[in-house]
Copies of this chain bind each other. A is one copy, B any other.
Amino acid sequence: MSKVFDALSHPIRREVLELLKGGGMTAGDIADHFPVSKPTMSGHFAKLKEAGLIHGENRRGSVVYTLNMSTLEEALHTFMGRMGLGRAEGEARPGTKPQGETQ
């Protein structure tokens, strides 16, 4: 969960996720949307991958990144549940840890 929030703490990385909502894109096409170098973008992709938020696949000399929405949903919903936010009352049962990764 820490890695997800850490990945979300940079505006470029959040915008990458938004871009990928519309479907997979190559690293180069994503990078063209931002005013930083491609190596810098590669680092952002690595962080998003490490958090499990995107997934990269080699396709004809390019890498196509796709969004992994379930990781995002799981982290946000788990945390919101703990904070008593968002879902119905029966959701936020304290003591029920949805098994996972280091907090």
Contacts and interface: CB of A to CB of B under 8 A. Distances in A.
Contacts of A63: none
A76 interface: yes
The secondary-structure label for the interface of chain A is: helix
Given A5-B9, A102-B98, A17 B83 contact: yes
Interface string A4-17: 01101111001101
A96 B88 CA distance: 12
B2 A10 contact: yes
A94 interface: yes
A9 B18 contact: no
A44 interface: no
A52 interface: no
